[in-house]
Chain A
Amino acid sequence: MKKGIFYVSILAIPLTVVSLGMKTSEPEKDESANRIQFVQKNKAGEKIFKQYCATCHQLDGGGVPNIAPPLIQTKYVLGDKNTLIHIVLNGFNEDVEIDNQHFSNPMPPFKSKLSDKDVANVLSYVRSSFGNDASAVTASEVKAIRSGK
């Protein structure tokens, strides 16, 4: 009996969300559409993060001591987007200090694995997660770096 209610309520959650979303979206159609797009983009970014980045940087973006750096409020994550895009496309293996620590593993290059849109999505996700609050990265910004401009 209780289980039945449980399953019904699990089904009810998305339905409620959808119906609420439909109601509130009516007055300001444009802004809400943007928001939905943003959320979807982050879903795509989150998926790429989990598949390609989370092992080293960990699911919470906190990194692994001495092995892989955190992605929380670092100068690379919040700083110049071109440098950031460059790191993901071409990898990073230098003895740099990040958050007063050194990390001995290499960051692999992802240019052969991730499209411009993938890189834009994952970096937008990183820059808006783990306590980060920086602007999104676009596929055309990634394209420009990839083509060496």
Chain B
Amino acid sequence: MKKYIILPIVLIIAGAFFLISFKSKERAKEDLNIYKNLSGGGNTDLVLPAGFHASLIENNIGEARHIAVTKEGDIYVKLLYPKNGKGILFLKKTVGNKYQVSGFGNYGGTGILLNGGYLYASSNTTVYRYKLNDNDEVTDPEHPDVIVKGLIDRRQHNSKSLAMDNNGNLYVNIGAYSNSCQVEDRVPGSMGQKGCPILDSAGGIWQFKADKLNQTYGDGVRYATGIRNVVGLDWNNQSNSLYVMQMGRDQLHDLFPKYYNAEISALLPAECLYELHRGANAGFPYAYYDQIKKKYMLAPEYGGNGKIESNKNYLPPSLAFPGHLAPTAVLFYTGNQFPEKYKNGAFIAFHGSWNRSPEKQAGFFVVFAPFENGKPTGKWEIFANNFAGTKDVISPRNAKYRPCGLAQGPDGSLYVSDDTKGAIFKISYNK
């Protein structure tokens, strides 16, 4: 009998040792312990802080990427692929909480925003602009202005997300059409291309004029580089600067198993929030940010092994989240409905991971990060959770909903879109 008792004891001791020596890694994992400190949430499955409630206002409208809400409370939705030939949906409020759905724009894409009497929307190559009437309805849906065209679309990371500042500038993400600029993309062991040529036309944020027609690369400015792929970005009026959420590289373990085990690869590298000013460089593809070591590390494609720090001065992240959670939207909250702590802070939608295997997938939530004077305080918490409808997401297909876009309504409510089948949630506060 003794033998059978010794084995568990040995396992427990080994386990304890493991826990102590990997405490910081465990702490990084703890950030993903997503069900703490949250209470019930309204008439959906969402889990929200006390006083908040959510309602599902529309469902099955198509893969809803970014959204914009007008001062009337109507909603523009950009669909990833056109549905019945319509890539932009207009959800017009009717009586009660019902919406009348119509559509236009025969192209798929991600970006959409309202600014200065216009609706801006993007396909994966082009940014369009539609004139609005006084009720924020598009006047001529068939004839938008072409603001920017000819942006690179090589399938991978091809969405063009949009933001605007208060000086008539439009910011467009152009994602790198590669995981890490390997000679052979995503082939195990393939090394990085010298002087990564992708950065000439992608892997950064480009700035264009919001009111100039038919611009292309030559008319724009590469505003910031070394940024692998951004889907979520927003202008911060307090700091007067652009904040973006980068999607960090995938597959450290798959591609360089001798340097990274599957467990660490499920956590690294960080998904980083950056405050960008012109000329910023966030290190892609040469380096990645390790949120456990709190340092930029040399990418394995460029001579790294998980232990060698980068010796370049890349832009430090404003916040660093666990890896692979796939941030798809950033929204600075300027409304008056939510409690004081939310004012001017950032909501960040995390679409949920696909490459944490063999660990469970994570994300599928909306985070809140408080800001003071245009800078994050360093803290963050999960604000709206359980879009997936289960804790056990082995594959992202197990998630019922995946939050993608965020928008603020005229009454200060927060709208969240889902790009699985296309749901729109409205989150409000009433003590």
Are A3 and B8 in contact (CB-based, < 8 A)? yes
> A55 contacts B188, CB within 8 Å?
no
In the complex formed, the residue of B with least CB distance to A1 is B1
The answer to whether B397 and A62 touch across the interface, beta carbons within 8 angstroms, is yes
B258: min CB distance to chain A, Å: 13
**Judging by beta carbons under 8 Å apart, are B80 and A66 in contact?**
yes
Question: For chain B residues 228-259, which have a beta carbon within 8 Å of chain A?
Answer: 250-251, 254
- How far is B177's CA from A93's CA once the two chains are assembled, in angstroms? 12
Within 8 A of A (CB), among B129-188: 155-158, 184-188
Tell me, in angstroms, the Cα distance from A101 to B67 when the chains sit together. 22
A65 lies within 8 A of B397 (CB): yes
Q: How far is the CB of B176 from chain A (nearest CB, A)?
A: 13
With a cutoff of 8 Å between Cβ atoms, the chain A residues found around residue B394 in the complex are 58-60
B residues in contact with A93, CB < 8 Å: 155
> Is B288 on the interface with A (CB-CB < 8 A)?
no
Return chain A residues, CB-CB under 8 Å to B7.
7
**A residues 54-79 with Cβ under 8 Å of B?**
54-56, 58-60, 62-68
The interface residues of chain A lying within 8 Å CB-to-CB of B251 are 55
Does A34 make an interface contact (CB < 8 A)? no
State the CA gap A65–B184 with chains docked (Å): 23
Asked if A106 contacts B4 (CB within 8 A), the reply is no
Query: Could you tell me the distance between the alpha carbons of A39 and B72 in the complex, rounded to whole angstroms?
Result: 64
Please report whether the interface of chain B is mostly helix, strand, loop or mixed according to DSSP. loop
Interface size class of chain A, counting residues whose CB lies under 8 Å from the partner chain: 20 to 34
Query: Does the CB pair B1–A59 fall under 8 Å?
Result: no
Report whether B4 and A104 are in contact in the complex, using a CB–CB cutoff of 8 Å: no
CB distance from A104 to the nearest CB of B (A): 5
Contact A55 B80 (CB under 8 A): no
- Count contacts on B: residues with CB < 8 A to the other chain: 30
CB pair B187–A108 under 8 Å, yes or no, is yes
Considering the chains assembled together, what is the distance between the CA atoms of A59 and B8 in angstroms?
Answer: 30
Measured between C-beta atoms, what is the minimum distance from A60 to chain B in Å?
Answer: 6
Give residues 1-31 of A contacting B (CB, 8 Å). 1, 3-4, 7
Q: Are B8 and A106 in contact (CB under 8 A)?
A: no
By a CB distance below 8 angstroms, the chain A residues around B4 are: 3-4, 7
Task: Answer whether residue B395 sits at the interface, using C-beta atoms and an 8 A cutoff.
Answer: yes
Tell me whether B185 and A106 are in contact (CB under 8 A).
Answer: yes
Say yes or no for A95: interface residue by CB 8 A criterion.
yes
Contacts of B413 in A (CB 8 A): none
Find the A residue at minimum CB distance from B358. Answer: A59
Assess whether B122 is interfacial by the CB under 8 Å rule. no
CB-CB < 8 A to B8: which residues of A? Answer: 3
Residues of B within 8 A of A60 (CB): 394-395
Within 8 A of A (CB), among B1-48: 1, 4-5, 7-8
B323 in the interface (beta carbon within 8 A): no
Q: Is A113 an interface residue (CB 8 A)?
A: yes
B380 within 8 A of A: no
Closest Cβ–Cβ distance, residue A71 to chain B (whole Å): 12
In the complex, B354 has a CB within 8 A of chain A: yes
Q: Does A38 contact B (CB under 8 A)?
A: no
B81 lies within 8 A of chain A by Cβ: yes
Complex interface residues of chain B between 352 and 405 (CB less than 8 A to chain A): 354-355, 357-358, 394-397
Picked from B1, B185, B355, the residue with its CB within 8 Å of the CB of A4 is B1
By the criterion CB–CB under 8 Å, are A59 and B395 in contact? yes
Least CB distance from A134 to B in Å reads 23
- Known: A67-B354, A104-B155, A106-B156. Contact between A62 and B395, CB under 8 A? yes
Which residues of A lie under 8 Å from residue B81 when comparing CB positions?
Answer: 102
Residues of A within 8 A of B156 (CB): 104-106
Decide yes or no whether B420 CB sits under 8 A from chain A: yes
User: With a CB–CB cut-off of 8 A, which chain B residues contact A113?
Assistant: 187-189
When distances are taken between beta carbons in the complex, the residues of chain B under 8 Å from A106 are 155-156, 185-186
A65 touches B188 (CB 8 A): no
A84-117 Cβ-contact flags toward B at 8 Å (1 or 0)? 0000000001010000001011101110110000
Contact A55 B355 (CB under 8 A): yes
CB distance from A47 to the nearest CB of B (A): 13
Contacting residues, chain B, for A64 (C-beta < 8 A): 354, 395-397
Q: If the complex has contacts A3-B8, A104-B155, are A58 and B186 also in contact, measured as CB distance less than 8 A?
A: no
* Inter-chain contact B186/A65, CB cutoff 8 Å: no
Within 8 A of A (CB), among B318-376: 354-355, 357-358
Please list 16 pairs of residues, one from A and one from B, whose beta carbons are closer than 8 Å in the complex, sorted by A's number. A3-B8, A4-B1, A4-B4, A55-B251, A55-B357, A56-B355, A58-B394, A62-B397, A64-B396, A95-B155, A102-B81, A104-B157, A106-B185, A112-B187, A113-B187, A113-B189
Interface residues of B (CB under 8 A from A): 1, 4-5, 7-8, 63, 80-81, 155-158, 184-189, 250-251, 254, 354-355, 357-358, 394-397, 420
Inter-chain pairs besides A105-B155, A112-B187, 17 sampled, C-beta below 8 Å:
A3-B8, A4-B1, A4-B4, A7-B4, A7-B7, A52-B254, A55-B250, A55-B354, A55-B355, A56-B355, A60-B395, A65-B420, A104-B156, A104-B158, A105-B186, A108-B186, A113-B188
Closest 3 CB pairs of A and B: A4-B4, A108-B186, A58-B395
| A interface residues with partner B (beta carbon < 8 Å) | 1, 3-4, 7, 51-52, 54-56, 58-60, 62-68, 93, 95, 102, 104-106, 108-110, 112-113
